Structure 1
Amino acid sequence: MAMTKDEIIEYLNEIKSDKFRKNIIKLGIPEEKSIGVSTGEIRKLARKIKIDHHLAEELWVAGYHEARLLSILIMDESKVSLNYVSQLMKDVMSWDLCDHICKNLIIKMPSYEELIFDWCCDHRVYYKRAAFSLIASTMIHKKEIEKDEVNRYIDIIRECGDDSRNHVKKAVSWALREIGKKDFDCQEQAIQLAYEFIEGSQKNLNWIGKNALKELETLVSVKERGRLLSSNSKMGKRIQKDT
């Protein structure tokens, strides 16, 4: 499905919703950069357009939040360098676009782990969030993860996790929880770090430890899943009921 950048922006304005626009503005996106289209609709459009790197670059420059979400989905990762995505991050103004880039583009790139180490102590809020979002995404999507890699991520959380900004704190907690879901050994390791944070004197780490522990201590093993999941989830509740 061939569409120009202008045709796409016009189409997005045709299907926009005041409800979604209000939600986008709440994320911190300026009104003039918000159209009001759900991510689900953006994904449907991306599947129709398919990969088009030139169009992706045009959509990113257009500046609209939804155009940038679409841009990432149709971008050709083979034409993207680590320096390129680092430049894209300068334009990020919300946690959802930050995570979207991490989960749908960066994690597909070779050597992306370099960015975790480059950004984990960055002073810029979304660069730092991206480091922990990448850890979480790695734990979710990477099938084979060596123990040494897990230990590196634990060390990053311990050394760089202390941050008062909500969008960073929540990403640190998310990363710790996803580490714990790998297997029971990792669960124990993540719980130990959570208690270390809770028992320490740093208020931000206290919060992260308590927040992560809410899920870490509920994890159970399910045959249908390669990773642990919360007993409070729908599948977890169903398994408990069946047993």
Structure 2
Amino acid sequence: MSSAAAEALIAYLRSLRSDTAIAGQHRFGVRPAGEHLGIAIPVLRTLARPHRRDHALALALWASGIQDARLLATFVADPPQLTSSQADRWVRDTDNWALADSLAFLVDRTPFAAAQAHAWSARRAEFVKRTAFAVMAGMAVHRKELPDAVFLDFLPVITREATDERNFVRKAVNWALRQIGKRNPRLHRAALAEAARIARLDSSAARWIAADALRELRARESSSPPSPAQPRIQLRDTPTQVGRALRRAAV
């Protein structure tokens, strides 16, 4: 059933292929090694709705190796059925920020999210590390039930990786720090203190991460509690919208 559904969905995805959209996504750093169709995220989300929680379908879509099918897989997959070993295989396949972030927003709803974020943050691969910090950012917004200790434990990891000069990593490190700081007043104070420590590191990436985080978190000091902004970064229909999303939060 899921195999047939996957084949039908993949055939439909291929019918939507757009060279113009692919070129636009390339300009913003989405350059998967495999087949790429350029389908907008809102279209993929609409396609996913009738298939929510069909985990077997998600596995089949991911196995296709097609960027757009893999994005669709992250929307269809059932977090309770996703295992840490499956997530680890998927993150090793990930080679661009769009897929990294979409996978992160799936993983951040799992019981092993924090453990995977810690583990992936220590890996060298650019988009594995990117996913780690996107998971932290997503957890700060989506996991209302978690204690502050989970996020306090992320702060030394953020500092440890703040000297990574790769753009897709440093932006994700910054993103995680800002989202943690916007979760509640206690974490806001902790994130400000961590940003001050990061600012003292001898690294241009660290200085940028700290300055950007301090700017945003200090601007929110007058509001109590700081309200977290939705971190979801999407490939939208126009290059202008994509550019705005990229410039601000994720890439």
Scaled by the length of structure 1, what TM-score is found? Answer: 0.83
In 2, Cα distance between equivalents of 1:229 and 1:148: 18
Go from structure 1 to structure 2 and tell me whether the alpha carbon gap of 1:7 and 1:148 turns closer, same or farther (over 3 Å shift): closer
46, 56, 59: which is aligned to 1:57? 59
Q: Provide the residue aligned with 1:145 in structure 2.
A: 146
Q: Which amino acid aligns with 1:38?
A: A
Gaps of 5+ in 2: 230-251
Equivalent residues of 1:220, 1:228 under 8 A apart:
no
In 2, Cα distance between equivalents of 1:151 and 1:123: 23
In 1, Cα distance between equivalents of 2:55 and 2:115: 23
Task: Kindly state the Cα deviation for residue 208 of structure 1 after the two structures are TM-superposed.
Answer: 0.9
Q: Provide the residue aligned with 1:33 in structure 2.
A: 35
Q: Provide the residue aligned with 1:79 in structure 2.
A: 81
In 2, Cα distance between equivalents of 1:128 and 1:31: 18
Of residues 193-202 and 151-160 in structure 1, the stretch that sits farther from structure 2 once superposed is 193-202
Q: Provide the residue aligned with 2:16 in structure 1.
A: 15
Instruction: Write the deviation string for residues 172-212 of structure 1: whole angstroms up to 9, x where unpaired.
Output: 10011011101233222222222222233222211211122
User: Runs in 1 of length 4+ with deviation above 6 angstroms?
Assistant: none
Go from structure 1 to structure 2 and tell me whether the alpha carbon gap of 1:214 and 1:222 turns closer, same or farther (over 3 Å shift): closer
In 2, Cα distance between equivalents of 1:30 and 1:122: 20
Quick check: which has more Rg, 1 or 2? 1
Q: How many residues align?
A: 227
Q: Provide the residue aligned with 1:237 in structure 2.
A: none
Q: Which amino acid aligns with 1:25?
A: H
Q: Provide the residue aligned with 1:122 in structure 2.
A: 123
Equivalent residues of 1:181, 1:187 under 8 A apart:
yes
Go from structure 1 to structure 2 and tell me whether the alpha carbon gap of 1:40 and 1:87 turns closer, same or farther (over 3 Å shift): same
The answer to whether residue 185 in structure 2 is matched with residue 168 in structure 1 is no
In 2, Cα distance between equivalents of 1:51 and 1:175: 27
In 2, Cα distance between equivalents of 1:168 and 1:20: 25
Task: Kindly state the Cα deviation for residue 229 of structure 1 after the two structures are TM-superposed.
Answer: 5.4
Q: Provide the residue aligned with 2:227 in structure 1.
A: 228
Q: Provide the residue aligned with 1:154 in structure 2.
A: 155
- After superposition, residues 85-100 of structure 1 pair within 5 angstroms as 85-100=87-102
45, 48, 54: which is aligned to 1:46? 48
In 2, Cα distance between equivalents of 1:77 and 1:108: 6
Go from structure 1 to structure 2 and tell me whether the alpha carbon gap of 1:187 and 1:79 turns closer, same or farther (over 3 Å shift): closer
Go from structure 1 to structure 2 and tell me whether the alpha carbon gap of 1:89 and 1:73 turns closer, same or farther (over 3 Å shift): same
Task: Kindly state the Cα deviation for residue 149 of structure 1 after the two structures are TM-superposed.
Answer: 2.1
Task: Kindly state the Cα deviation for residue 39 of structure 1 after the two structures are TM-superposed.
Answer: 0.4
Aligned with 2:145: secondary structure?
coil
Task: Kindly state the Cα deviation for residue 167 of structure 1 after the two structures are TM-superposed.
Answer: 0.8
Task: Kindly state the Cα deviation for residue 4 of structure 1 after the two structures are TM-superposed.
Answer: 2.6
Higher relative contact order (CA 8 A, sep 6+): 2
Of residues 5-14 and 160-169 in structure 1, the stretch that sits farther from structure 2 once superposed is 5-14
Aligned with 1:4: secondary structure?
helix
Scaled by the length of structure 2, what TM-score is found? Answer: 0.81
Go from structure 1 to structure 2 and tell me whether the alpha carbon gap of 1:100 and 1:57 turns closer, same or farther (over 3 Å shift): same
Task: Kindly state the Cα deviation for residue 156 of structure 1 after the two structures are TM-superposed.
Answer: 1.4
Gaps of 5+ in 1: 231-243
Identity of aligned residues (%): 28
Q: Which amino acid aligns with 1:4?
A: A
